[in-house]
Amino acid sequence: MRTVTHRVTLRRADLDGSVCTAPEEIAEALRDRDVVLVVLEHKVKGITPTREVFEARLEQDVAWRFTGITWPADIRTGMFVNVAWQAGRDAVVLRTRVLEDPLRIDGVNYYHEYDPQTVTRDYDPRPSNRGQVLRAIRGLGQVFEDGSAVFPEEALAKQAGLGRGQKGAFLLKNAVEQLIREGYVTRVEGSADASGRPSYPAVDGEEPVELLFYAPLVDPAQHPGETDGEGGEHHDRREHWVKGFIRKLPPGAQPSEKQMAAYQRALETEQIDEHLEPGYTFVKKHHRHG
């Protein structure tokens, strides 16, 4: 019998609302059923196989969706889920796919395949000035396939929600400088079209603008059961000191003399032993707020 399979991307609203997008072809075939059996096949943290069965319902909002899905705690925003249904069968099967090696993205562990653009856009920080600025850059900026993003710095005053006047400008300036110091963003020269849409690198004929470039910090994550000397997942969501690390730069950018000097000092004092490849910079040890 024919099997219909689609891949959907989970968003924070799906996880919070206990729903999953229902591909239209599957929804049209099952829409008259009061209850749809949905089976979730998932390996917890990429290791432990689980199989859960839900008595879901089909609802149509903007699109069709299955409701009543309780997502496991290790399923993150941006993760892919394969939705499969075989004609003549009762159950719809949801499957996640394990990464070959787990990754830590800005302090959050991912054990399953995901969409970098959705991870960037679906950012929900803890309340703070820097968090509001970073959310504007990631949520409203131009997001690239690798999850990096650019946003015009001058537009932040209207979008970051830190208030107007001198006080708002002061809070915004401090938040941006903190994000730069912590290695989350970098200032770059780009351009914007007539609608204000930013481009990086700059496009000929467009108005030059100063952009803030965000690149996700992606590192290998500890496999479940391994000791994590950094304090485990989410460790950087609390106020703490961060050791120096290598971070990706915008395309075509190079580390400054100051950054290279800090990298050389870190090598000499054995704080780091990684080679600084072209297109990367060194962010020195600093205090990071949660």
d(CA 198, CA 200): 7
Question: What pLDDT is recorded for position 1?
Answer: 63
Question: What pLDDT is recorded for position 4?
Answer: 93
pLDDT in tens, 162-174: 988 899 999 999 9
Is pLDDT of 93 > 90? Answer: yes
Is pLDDT of 247 > 50? Answer: yes
Is pLDDT of 234 > 60? Answer: no
Is pLDDT of 286 > 50? Answer: no
Which pLDDT band, with edges at 50, 70 and 90, does 209 fall under? very high
d(CA 135, CA 32): 40
Q: What percent of the chain has a predicted confidence (pLDDT) above 70?
A: 83
Q: Cα 237 to chain center, whole Å?
A: 14
- Put the strands of the sheet holding 36-44 in their side by side order: 3-9, 80-86, 91-95, 36-44, 48-60, 64-67, 19-21
Bridge-partner residues for 104, per DSSP?
109, 219
Query: Amino acid identity of 155?
Result: A
130-134, 214-218, 259-263 — which is least confidently predicted? 259-263
Q: Which residue has the higher pLDDT, 15 or 124?
A: 15
Is pLDDT of 66 > 70? Answer: yes
Sign of the Cα torsion 243, 245, 11, 162 reads positive
Question: What pLDDT is recorded for position 235?
Answer: 45
CATH 2.40.330.10 location in the chain = 3-96
Asked whether 125 and 178 are in contact (CB, 8 A), the reply is no
Average pLDDT, the chain: 86
CATH architecture of 3-96: Beta Barrel (2.40)
Q: Which residue has the higher pLDDT, 228 or 176?
A: 176
Longest dimension (CA), the chain: 69
Is pLDDT of 97 > 90? Answer: yes
Tell me the average pLDDT across 218-247.
Answer: 59
Is pLDDT of 30 > 80? Answer: yes
